[in-house]
Amino acid sequence: MAKQKVSVTLAPEQLRRAQDLTGSENVSDLLDDALEALIERELERRWLAGHESGDDDPDLPREVSVDLSDAPWDDQ
């Protein structure tokens, strides 16, 4: 993946805490991980909001009730 150089201002205590927790001194790697976690969290939040809204969006997963009472089981 191509990288883009940026300048950031960080809270030093958050940076130290992230470095302590991960054992990584590489700020670029820490920021990559943080951005990936943010993206995942936001996508999950949006999915849950859409799922919980009760919309009739056919692209959203829904619960499927399964009735196996008439299934042809091998032992019957």
Distance between CA atoms of residues 46 and 48, nearest Å = 5
> Is the full-model pTM beyond 0.75?
no
Any domain includes 20? no
pLDDT for 73 equals: 81
For the chain, what is the domain count? 1
Any domain includes 68? no
Any domain includes 14? no
Any domain includes 18? no
Q: 21-65, pLDDT tens digit by residue?
A: 999 999 999 999 999 999 999 999 998 887 776 666 677 667 778
Distance between CA atoms of residues 38 and 53, nearest Å = 22
Any domain includes 35? yes
How far separated are the first and last CA of the chain, in Å rounded? 56
Q: Is 23 left (phi over 0), alpha (psi -120 to 50) or beta?
A: left
Any domain includes 5? no
Any domain includes 44? yes
Query: What domain range is 40 assigned to?
Result: 26-53
